[in-house]
Structures are given as C-alpha cells and as structure tokens.
Structure 1
Amino acid sequence: MVEKMLKFVSLGQNRPHKRKAQDRKRDFQEIYDRFDKPHAAQQASRCSQCGVPFCSIHCPLHNNIPDWLKLSAEGRYQEAYEVSAATNTFPEICGRICPQDRLCEGNCVIEHDFNSVTIGAVESFLTDTALENGWVKPVKPQGEKGQSVGIIGAGPAGLAAAEQLRQQGYKVHVYDRYDRIGGLLMYGIPTFKLEKYIVERRQKLFEEAGIIFHLNMGIGDHDGSGMISFATLQAKHEAVLIATGVYKAKEMECIGSNLTGCVKALDYLVASNRVLMGDAVADFDQGLLNAKGKNVVVIGGGDTAMDCVRTAIRQGARSVKCVYRRDRANMPGSAREVKNAEEEGVEFIWLASPEAVLGETHVTGVRCAQVRLGLPDQSGRQSVMPIEGEGLTITADLVIKALGFDPEPLPVLWNQPELGLSRWGTVMVDEHTFMTSLPGVFAAGDIVRGASLVVWAIRDGRDAAEQIHTWLDSNPYHERKSYKTHGQKKQKIQQG
C-alpha cells in the first residue's frame, strides 16, 4: 500500500486546531485539539518513507517513526500504537511536550520545501486512541524473579525504568517525596501543555502491573516519619536506581534577588499546578506565588521561562515580560512556545541582562543592562558583552527566576560520601552500565546528564533498566547477597 504515502507533494501540512489566544489564555486547558482519524491518516500519509529516517535518528528514543506513520496512513491504528509504544514508555506525553521543532520534525527531510510531517500530533493521537479503546494493557511479566529493585524518583526516568524492570519480572518499588507520581510532569509542566489526568491514567496502569509506589517518602540519612535512609533502601533491595532529577534552582548573582516578590520558577509552577489540582497553597492564597493583577517579569529563556510567562497570563497578570540576555535566535527554549507566548500577550525583551532587582523590602522593578553578543565562549554559545552606558528599568511586582536547575548534594543529604559526583555535582556513572561508584546502585536521567528533556529521561531510564537486569542476571546470587549484607551492616553502623 505504498500509494498511500509520499502525499507531501499534494497535501499540505495541517496541525490540529489551535484555540484562539483570547480564549485559551482564560483557562489552563490544553491549547491544541486532537486529530480525528481521517486527519491523522492524511497527515501521516505525507511521510516520504526516506531511506535514512532523520526523524528517528534525531529522536533520543530512536522511535520507529516512519513505520507507525505508514500504519497510521493505512488506518491500522492499533498496530501503529504498538510500534510507537515498543520504544517509548510515554508516547502520549512526548507527543504533547517534546520540542519536535528541534528533534524529529525539525529534521524531517521534507521540512525545507514542504513543511514537516506533524509527527508529535499523530503520536499523541495514537496513544490517546489506544487508551480509549482499551488497547493499552499493563505489563505482565512471564514469571516472577523474586528479586526487588528500589527506584528513587517517580519522574519520567524512574517510571520508564520501573515499567521495563517489572516486565522482566522484578519486584519494583518506587519512592518519591511528593504525594503524586510524575515529578515535573505533574508539578512542573503546566496543564495547558499536559493535563494531569494523562499522568494519572499511566499510574493506574503501573499499579495494575504490580509496581509499588511509596509516596510522601523522602530519602535521607536516617529513618523517620516520611523518610527512609539510603542505607535502609540498599538493604531492602538487590539493586537501587537513583532517578531524582535536578531540583535546586540556579540563583541570580545580582543585588536584590532575595527581596520578597522575587521567587523561584519551580516554586511558582508547583504552586499553580497544586492549586489547579485542588490543593491548598498558602503562598498562593496570600499572593506571593500568584500573578493576578501584577506586573510580572520572568528572567530566563528556556522552556521553564515559557511555562512561567504563559502561566502568569492565565492567572490574570496586568503585564508579563520575559527578559533574556541573548536574542531570539539564541534562545534555548522551543520556538513554538515563544510564538505561543507572544500570541497570548507576553512581551519579550531581548539582549538585556539583569543588574539588580529593585525595592526596599518588596520588589518594585528590575534594572537591566543592554548587551550585545560577542564571540563564542567555552560552551560554544556567543558571549554576552554589556554596552556601556545603556540600560533600562522595568516595573515589576513579581519577578520569577527561571535560570535552570542544579543537582542537590546527594552524598551529603544521604550520608553517602562514597557516591561519586562530577564537577557539576551530577552523579557519576559508568557510561555503559549506568552503575555509580556504589556497587549495585545505578543512576539515570537528569541527575546524571543535568537538566534536560523528558524524552532523554525516558531514554536513560529504559537503558538503565536494561543494565540493571543484565547485572542482576549475570552476577552470582552469593555476590548479590554479599552486597545486600554489606548494606545491612552499613545501616547498623550508621545507626550506632
């Protein structure tokens, strides 16, 4: 049925309908409608079925995109879903939040002259359709192995690993300090990009598969209420995976960054998401983390900054400005998100670097220096050089710092000085086995590679699960038992 493909020469790109800006900025619902079957099949038929699929090559998961596009074009949606899910734990999530313009769609071979295939929209359509029709089943292992794996972190890396390990027959226990699974999928990403029922229905499938979640359970250096020590965790499980992500906000190095009204992006986004899920958040109710009626300035140029400016618009801010020290072409965030933000009324101030947050006790404004871009620095990006004597002051009642994230000092927090770290504070692992400096302890996701995309976390989690299985399967039982006994002895020593 090859005649159903290569329709890009006669059929133009057509994305799902996007709600008008004046409508969507009044609520937190997703801004795109979903394809119906005819439109999904039509857009899938635009695929050129090229011999070297750059869409797959540039997808961190190496999804078999041309295969499931062809099946979709032929109306074989269940088969298309199964091919999509074979390499991706969360295709319905990646289809919504991946920066396709930088990954699969941005590298589509027809992009230049004909506009790319709408890969992300077809991907989320397939899984939504599969879930609605009961095609998605919880993983069922062929047999139980008897060994258990403890996973720290219920974000995308930890959950992807959990499903793969459960499929192999391991008892999988996932520990997370929050009261819901998903990590940033639940608390960091706004609902207008990812509605939370999508994560919740995955949780149901995981639980039906036999994955056990220990929520409101932090990891520390001792056992206590809502806390389990890392040593206890080692003693309980044959292997441990660290998939905590990175949550420590980077700070601004300027005067006034600690004034009331100058807040961290993640605190702001978590508060917004919690309120929408029905939780009581005192700082939101008291106005500290609520943009309603305020002049808001968001500092940063990544996807987190875009989430903040678009959230502020929906909360009813008087004005929303995004200050970024480079230009549009050098912005790290998704170009699609920048366009959406502009449509919704966000003003971007390019080539401006904050020098000070103004105010005595509460924020009143931000003073910025005008800058120009110079030669590339050590990171390969153009350096920022101030233009002497030029600057501007922006009125602000709420300043949101969206400058990225660093890892927390896990060896100190967990009393594990032997846990090796890189010079950036991320956990060091063997690049092939994902094992840390602690025997039987593995790590994956942002805590290893630094703050990155959800799709990379999924890839790392799946790869780490494969290596954990290989290690547990190849090491003699007495060696694993010795390792576990060592963990128990270490726990007793730490407890005195």
Structure 2
Amino acid sequence: MAERMLKFVGTPQALPEKRPAAERRHDFQEIYTRYAREKASEQASRCSQCGVPFCQVHCPLHNNIPDWLKLTAEGRLDEAYELSSATNNFPEICGRICPQDRLCEGNCVIEKGFESVTIGSVEKFITDTAWDQGWVKPIRPRRERPQSVGIVGAGPAGLAAAEQLRRKGYQVAVYDRYDRVGGLLIYGIPNFKLEKDVVRRRETLLRDSKVDFHLNCEIGRDVTLAELRQRHDAVLIATGVYKARDIQAPGVGLPGIAAALDFLTASNREGLGDAVPEFESGALNANGKNVVVIGGGDTAMDCVRTAVRQGARSVKCLYRRDRGNMPGSQREVKHAEEEGVEFVWLTAPQSFLGKDEVSHVRSVRIHLGMPDASGRQTPQEIPNSHVNIEADLVLKALGFDPEDLPSMLQEPDLGVTGWGTLKIDWRSMMTNLDGVFAAGDIVRGASLVVWAVRDGRDAADRIHSYLTTKAASVAVAAE
C-alpha cells in the first residue's frame, strides 16, 4: 500500500483545472475541467488510508472513500466505480454539488498540514469514466415481485428510493407535478454546478430499468393520495420543500422583488429551451440590473453567480452574519468573489424603497452579540447605521418551508410536525397512515442532496421490510 498511497507529503493538492473567471462568467458551463486519468490517480494516492476515516464518518452516505481512492490510485477504476456506486445512487452528482469542504474533505485527517484529498473531484471522475466506458447498466432484478410502490416526487430522495426498490424487483411508479425528472436537480441548481445532461442520463437509466414516470401529475389535483394507496402496495412521499420563506419588511411587495427559486427556475427553464415569459419580460432576468441577493446559503450563491452570467450590472449579497458564520459552502463564496460578486457582511435589510418598482434596499449594519441557545451569536442592529443600496432586482434566498401537504394531497389525516414537515416513526419511516412512508426534505426540512439520497435509500429498505412482512402474514393466513 505504501508504494501507491500516503503520497500527501510529497504531492501537493491539485483540483481539476478551473476555467478563468473572466471566461466562465459569460456562460453556464461547469467551471472545472475533468481530471486526466494520471492526475486523478496521483491525487487519489495522497490518501493516508487512516485507521479511522473521518471522511467516511462525516459523509451522510458513509461512502467507502479510502477504499475507492486506493483503487483509483492503482488504476482499477471499474472496481472503484462498483464500490462508489454501492453506497451512492448518484456519485457523479454528489461529486459535483456536495459541499465537500463541510463534509468529507473538511474532515480529512491530512487537512491541517497538507490540504485535504480532493475526494469530490475523484468521485466525479470515477463515475464519469464509468459512463464513458459503458459500465453503468440498467437494473435487471434477479426476480420480479408483484408488489408495486408509488413514489410522490422525482427529486433525489424519490429517485434514490426508486432505484433501490427496482433492484429488489418491485414495480415502481414515480409521480411528479413538474414536466421533467429531477426536481431541484433540474430546476434549482444552475448548469455551472450541475449540467442537465448529467441528470437526464440518470433518468434514462431508470426508464431503461423499467421505472414508470408520471409527469405533470400533481397528487391532490390529478389523483388523490387515497387513490394512490389503492393503486399501490406502498406509497413513499418525497416531495421536498418548496415554500419560500419571506421577509416581513415595508415595501416587500414591490415589483422587482422575487423569490430565489422562481429566479433560478426561470433561468434553468430558459437554458433548457422553454418559453419563459417572466424571463423574456425582464422580471426574472438580471441582464443590465443592479442585483441584491438576501441570504447566505447555497441557494443565495446560486443566485449571485447566475445573475453574473445573465449580465447583471452589479451583484451584491447581503448577509446578516460574517463570513465565518455563513451556512453556504466557502468554496462557492470564493467562486462568486472571483466572478465579481460583492459580499456585504453583517448587513440586514430593513425595508425596500421605490415608487412603481424597487429601487433601493434600505439596510442596517449588524453586530454579533452573545450566543443564543443554538450557540450562534445573536445579530443585533447598530443604531444609526442605515445605508440605501441601489437595486433593480432583489432576490430573497431565505430558505424553504414545507407546503401544507395534508391539504395539497387531500389527506387531512396525514400527520405533520409543528414545523409542517411530515411526522414519521423514524424506525419504520412510516407516517401515521399504514403503508405510507416519507423521506427527504419533507421529513428532515431543507437540507443537502446527499441527505436526500441517504433518506431515499433508507426508506426503500423500510418499505421492503414492510412489504415482505405483510406478504408473509398473508401467506400464513392463507394456510
């Protein structure tokens, strides 16, 4: 092992080549090029193969990271892919959009003195190579089961569950209210982080694996949850959370103020070739405008970097805490700064000014006071520190809350928590309705794609246990 691994002392960290900011700010292509095979092997060889792999511990999927890094260093990419895909349904997607600096790479044991292993980039390289070489095959279960499972939501949690259930031989149907498969992977994440072809080839793979998709089908409008329960032996709700949080401030209803997801969806739809009236009219188009984004998460980073590419005159990000307390990926912040985004730290909006449409954001400076119950310092306004920031387009990236699912699904008995998320028994992942399970953000709250994949896989296992137990009970009763 020592011959091929433990090279971190003499081999520096090297990410794939990053396109110059002056070039990438004018298009929506991914910003990193792809590793050459030799470079991927070299970077994988930096792994220390430590006894307690904190990278694996801090990955929600507990990917076998040291093992597939070693296989990559040895040039055994087909085996590396098999190992990587054994715990992750979408390794090439997670390799692109996971905040590795907060998860696996941020907990790499060599990080302090030698910079971490480039885990995400190697993961992406392994699976992209697998697609190129034809190693990724449609699912062909050893036996087909008669039971069917209906999945509400074609986002990462629903798709991960669909794949796992098909591997076990279940008949799977996925329902989604949108016209494309992928959820936020398609409409919420910009191309410069995740090109749409990467998602579409997964859709094709699932269709070739005999997963049925029912698109433009809204549960509660086109079919009720009760009808789904009659149609299928089990139902999984994996709708995600889409209700944008709002800000209570004077002038918030002025034209020119929009929710972040509306802006990102319009941009992605336009890139996909759809007719988007709000984009064409300029309402959700940053071209030539002074853009202010309010928020500090990954959605805010997607907005500021999208606005740059749309040709905004200026782009500012207002966040009420400092850089160290920002919830979004620090890598994304760095990319945004390189592309010309100005971050206005320790600043919060107080009101929005304008006559017929927004013209300025009236903001106030913030001081971080004593920590609250969560351990985070409490933002406190500094008196007489108001500043008016010019803005033609204001985007609110304040997070997401669950929609009112009992009403939407026409199932008033469906149990919810005080936060509006679906209430489940975490051991069985079942709601209060027999045979109805839930997973992903609709249970957890707005979170990362990698957690949605984890929850989808876990839900598939629980559904399998439920259906096999139920089938066994029926068989015993029939004797």
Q: C-alpha distance in 2, partners of 1:419/1:3?
A: 58
The residue identity in structure 2 corresponding to 1:474 is T
The residue identity in structure 2 corresponding to 1:459 is R
Question: Counterparts of 1:411-490 in structure 2 under 5 Å?
Answer: 411-476=406-471
Structure 1 residue 274 and structure 2 residue 269: aligned?
yes
TM-score (norm 1): 0.95
1:303-341 CA-to-partner distances (Å, cap 9, x unmatched) read: 000000000000000000000000000000000000000
Question: Counterparts of 1:254-269 in structure 2 under 5 Å?
Answer: 254-269=249-264
Structure 1 residue 390 and structure 2 residue 373: aligned?
no
Indicate the SS of the match to 2:230: helix
Structure 1 residue 354 and structure 2 residue 349: aligned?
yes
2:63 corresponds to: 63
Cα deviation for residue 371 of structure 1 reads 1.0
Cα deviation for residue 58 of structure 1 reads 0.2
2:136 corresponds to: 136
Cα deviation for residue 479 of structure 1 reads 6.5
Q: C-alpha distance in 1, partners of 2:314/2:346?
A: 20
Alpha-carbon RMSD across the aligned residues, in angstroms, is 1.2
Structure 1 residue 167 and structure 2 residue 163: aligned?
no
Cα deviation for residue 369 of structure 1 reads 1.1
Q: C-alpha distance in 1, partners of 2:464/2:77?
A: 32
Q: C-alpha distance in 1, partners of 2:233/2:155?
A: 21
1:122 corresponds to: 122
Cα deviation for residue 234 of structure 1 reads 1.0
CA 1:267–1:479: 2 relative to 1, 3 Å: farther
Q: C-alpha distance in 2, partners of 1:382/1:216?
A: 44
Q: C-alpha distance in 2, partners of 1:2/1:388?
A: 60
The residue identity in structure 1 corresponding to 2:400 is F
Indicate the SS of the match to 1:67: helix
2:200 corresponds to: 200
1:485 corresponds to: none
1:197-226 CA-to-partner distances (Å, cap 9, x unmatched) read: 000001111011110000111111x5xxxx
Any unmatched runs of 5+ in structure 2? Answer: none
Indicate the SS of the match to 1:219: coil
1:51 corresponds to: 51
Task: Tell me which moved more, 30-39 or 410-419.
Answer: 410-419
Q: C-alpha distance in 2, partners of 1:126/1:476?
A: 39
1:98-139 CA-to-partner distances (Å, cap 9, x unmatched) read: 000000000000000000000000000000000000001111
Structure 1 residue 371 and structure 2 residue 366: aligned?
yes
The residue identity in structure 1 corresponding to 2:206 is F
Q: C-alpha distance in 1, partners of 2:75/2:350?
A: 57
Q: C-alpha distance in 1, partners of 2:132/2:403?
A: 39
Q: C-alpha distance in 2, partners of 1:242/1:43?
A: 40
Q: C-alpha distance in 2, partners of 1:97/1:341?
A: 15
TM-score (norm 2): 0.98
Q: C-alpha distance in 2, partners of 1:452/1:382?
A: 22
1:26 corresponds to: 26
1:411-432 CA-to-partner distances (Å, cap 9, x unmatched) read: 1112212111111100011111
Indicate the SS of the match to 2:300: helix
2:152 corresponds to: 152
Among candidates 367, 379, 397, match of residue 402 of structure 1:
397
The residue identity in structure 2 corresponding to 1:440 is G
Indicate the SS of the match to 1:353: strand
The residue identity in structure 2 corresponding to 1:389 is N
Cα deviation for residue 477 of structure 1 reads 6.5
Among candidates 340, 345, 370, match of residue 345 of structure 1:
340
Question: Counterparts of 1:209-224 in structure 2 under 5 Å?
Answer: 209-220=209-220
Question: Counterparts of 1:172-191 in structure 2 under 5 Å?
Answer: 172-191=172-191
Structure 1 residue 253 and structure 2 residue 266: aligned?
no
Q: C-alpha distance in 2, partners of 1:52/1:78?
A: 25
Cα deviation for residue 361 of structure 1 reads 2.5
Q: C-alpha distance in 2, partners of 1:257/1:445?
A: 31
Q: C-alpha distance in 1, partners of 2:318/2:14?
A: 32
The residue identity in structure 1 corresponding to 2:394 is V
2:11 corresponds to: 11
1:225-281 CA-to-partner distances (Å, cap 9, x unmatched) read: xx2111111110000000000000000111111110000000000000000000000
Q: C-alpha distance in 1, partners of 2:437/2:375?
A: 31
Cα deviation for residue 380 of structure 1 reads 2.7
Cα deviation for residue 174 of structure 1 reads 0.2
1:290 corresponds to: 285
Q: C-alpha distance in 2, partners of 1:258/1:86?
A: 48
Q: C-alpha distance in 1, partners of 2:152/2:376?
A: 34
Q: C-alpha distance in 2, partners of 1:34/1:344?
A: 20
The residue identity in structure 2 corresponding to 1:292 is N
Cα deviation for residue 478 of structure 1 reads 7.0
* Number of equivalenced pairs: 476
Indicate the SS of the match to 1:316: coil
1:409-457 CA-to-partner distances (Å, cap 9, x unmatched) read: 0011122121111111000111111000111000000000000000000
Task: Tell me which moved more, 300-309 or 133-142.
Answer: 133-142
